A and B are shown apart, each in its own frame.
Chain A
Amino acid sequence: MPNMETTEPGARKVLPIIYVLDTSGSMEGNPIGALNQAMNETIPILREVESENASAEIKIGALAFSSGVRWISNGLEYIDDFIWNDVKAGGLTELGAALNELNSKMSRSEIFQSDTGFKLPVLLFMSDGVPTDDWEAALDAANIQNKWFLNSTKIAIALGQKADRSVLTKVVDNNPEAVILVNNLETLKTLIKVMSATASKIGSVSKVNTGTSMATQIVENTRKQMGGDTGDAGVQNPAPPVPTPAATGKSQSGWDDDDWN
């Protein structure tokens, strides 16, 4: 019998969590400071979750958009390798550029390479403003062309009253419940941490019997945990539902998946 010492970690799927963050000019000053601090504090939390998650190996991506886009991570990185380099704010709010970048990089030949395969990626969007480019065309293209993007679990944080919640709602598969509005920076910091931890555990912790989407579950769990600590003041309920169906055509893929780009 082989020695128990030779036991290797069991095989896990990779769970990609990709932050898509608005670093436009309006984020200058305190907001970007809060974002940097939140991301710095999120990493050790995710490391801890990762070290106990027997069903998924977490990998992190971070994409900043302003006038154009910039990857803060080197594609997808192991959480142990990932270092958050503080970002500066400045420029426009080119959400469309970010969606185009996701469309081109969310692919087996780009960032999604693994022997064991992936869990559905989680895309966490954060914006405090209104896009300045043709985000709608970019969103449609991504949803039509990119199965990874289409099937991702998408959640969004709308920071402040100037954030365009209807845009974010459309980005997150027309699911108004997947958008959380935050009005103060302290709450933003907690929210990013709690939401990241919740998202990184989804699919590996005890499930309650509900028929809701992953995105909604993440947001609901996040709200529950925030409710305990910070009061509900800063985190408001979702905007009234937009009567559009959630993205249709989500994947029914077979065992082989040769159609994943």
Chain B
Amino acid sequence: MLLEKGQKIKTIDGETIEVDQYLAGGGQGDVYRVSFRGEQKALKWYTCKFRDEKGFYDNLKSNMDSGSPAREFLWPLAVTEKCLGSFGYVMDLIPAGYYKVDEYALAKVKFSSFKSAVEACIQINSAFRTLHLAGYAYQDINGGNFIVDPVKGNVLICDNDNVAPDGVSTGIVGTPGYMAPEVFSGRNLPNKRSDQFSMAVMFFMLLCANHPLEGRRWQRITCMTDADEMRLYGTDPLFIYDPEDCSNEPVVEIHKNVLKRWGFLPQYMKDIFIKAFSRQSLENPSRRVSEIDWLQALCRFRSDIVRCKNPNCSNEIFINGAATTKCDCCGTPYPVANRVRLPLYEIPVVSGARIYRCQLGTCNLKDALNPVAAIVSKGDALGIKNKSGLIWAALTPSGKSKRVEPEEVIPIKPGITFKIEDYNLEII
């Protein structure tokens, strides 16, 4: 039943929600713009009777009570009482300028830069890290529930009514294409490990714009029967870039995006995808790539993406091996004179780059995305600014020790070493 403008509905705490306007309909319910606590919000109102099943309403209430795990989630702010044969919940409105991941997959919307696609992955990843650490599993990661702004890569995650404590089933098993093999084949119900798989699919879709398991094997299926789907996504999945088995490789005429992009990805990004979709990881949920591993790779990737200095080109370049890299579009070299050696890898010294806490080594969740240092420029000279809030101990090339206060800048000179927490970094 449709709600009407001006209609008032009570939350379980007795607050009033006033219906303003119908916005959209979905599989399970309609979404309205409403006013609530003096602000415009969205009301999801279930139209589908099965939503009244065991525990769904209670789970929704308990999600609301625990509060949103991270700002990316359009979390239930208030749940309505049961009335008019149904119920619903209030959440923030999706702001203008956000689009579903599915719309990117259909190329109806395109990122304004590769860097913003990487940013979107970072945000999705950190949202899930928080969600999982809070003991929840999302259970239904799909391209309709994730909405992304194409310019900045900011992410919002809706449909949080299926979020439940890890291991608790809400009846939803997921969306084909994003379901982990053990869930697709019915061996397991969704949990945080299957979320990790679905998240890797989404990263691949965002960065490579094709599906990681749909290559030649997929293309050669004239008509996809249930048995075919079971093999492709459930019992015998194979990554399109599996290094040992090329039988599911991308097909030139069809998988154009990934064929264009894969070759440009830095080796560590290829490696993490290969690991995330390796046979071991596909078969064994405990071998999934963890959120922290993704975060490290993605943050590194973000600092390797620069814009060509040729003003007529301004193509995005992926810096290769933290060294000077030629623009693949116009050939202009992007100069990288120096690098910073982090505990695990080197990053190019390019203006605007940041080093995040998770790039140093193991860390607390809440600190993972804190910038600890930023590359700044003054004229032609580059330096490293202390953004960590801590004092660094630095050594000059000739062995003199220096204190680097927060917000102070170290000039880029090969041979300078400095210490952040217990990690040694060196300019080379």
Query: Which residues on A are within 8 Å of B, measured CB to CB?
Result: 1-11, 13, 51-55, 108, 112, 115-121, 147-148, 151, 201, 203-209, 221, 224-225, 227-229, 250-253, 255-257, 260
Contacts and interface: CB of A to CB of B under 8 A. Distances in A.
Those 7 A-B pairs whose CB atoms lie nearest each other, nearest first = A54-B102, A54-B105, A257-B222, A9-B107, A260-B222, A251-B225, A228-B47
Contacts of A227: 49
B106 A9 contact: yes
A10 B222 contact: no
A205 B172 CA distance: 10
B47 A260 contact: no
Given A10-B211, A117-B221, A207 B175 contact: yes
A103 to B, nearest CB: 16
A250 B222 CA distance: 15
B13 interface: no
B27 A201 contact: yes
A233 to B, nearest CB: 15
Contacts of A204: 175-177
Interface in B174-200: 174-177, 179, 189
B172 A208 contact: yes
B224 A117 contact: yes
Interface in B41-99: 47-50
A148 B317 contact: no
Interface stretch (B3-11, B111-119, B373-381): B111-119
B107 A7 contact: yes
B408 interface: no
A207 B172 contact: yes
A54 B227 contact: no
A252 B221 CA distance: 12
B223 interface: yes
Interface stretch (B129-137, B255-263, B394-402, B409-417): B255-263
Given A117-B223, A120-B225, A8 B257 contact: yes
B173 interface: yes
Contacts of A119: 223-224
Given A52-B100, A255-B221, A206 B140 contact: yes
A207 B103 contact: no
Interface in B221-262: 221-228, 231, 253-257, 260-261
A52 B222 contact: no
Nearest to B172: A206
B341 interface: no
Nearest to A56: B224
B341 to A, nearest CB: 25
Interface residues of B, number: 68
A146 to B, nearest CB: 11
Nearest to B221: A117
Contacts of A251: 223, 225, 227
Given A11-B218, A117-B223, 17 more contacts: A1-B316, A7-B257, A8-B209, A10-B106, A10-B209, A10-B257, A11-B210, A11-B211, A13-B224, A117-B221, A118-B222, A148-B223, A206-B174, A207-B176, A251-B223, A252-B227, A253-B228
Contacts, number: 161
A117 B219 contact: yes
B66 to A, nearest CB: 22
A54 B108 CA distance: 11
A222 B251 CA distance: 37
A52 B345 CA distance: 41
A1 B317 contact: yes
A10 to B, nearest CB: 5
A230 to B, nearest CB: 11
Nearest to A251: B225
B273 interface: no
A13 B254 CA distance: 11
Contacts of A6: 260
Contacts of B177: 54-55, 204
B264 interface: yes
A225 B48 contact: yes
B69 to A, nearest CB: 21
B209 A11 contact: no
Contacts of A13: 224
A205 B256 CA distance: 25
A51 B225 CA distance: 24
Given A1-B114, A116-B219, A228-B47, A253 B227 contact: yes
Given A11-B219, A208-B50, A257-B222, A3 B315 contact: yes
B142 interface: yes
B318 A208 contact: no
Nearest to A252: B227
Contact of B112 (A4, A55, A229, A252): A4
A250 B225 contact: yes
A79 B223 CA distance: 19
B261 A2 contact: yes
A194 to B, nearest CB: 11
A188 B316 CA distance: 55
A228 B1 contact: yes
Contacts of B1: 228-229
Contacts of A9: 105-107
A246 to B, nearest CB: 13
Contacts of B222: 108, 112, 117-118, 257, 260
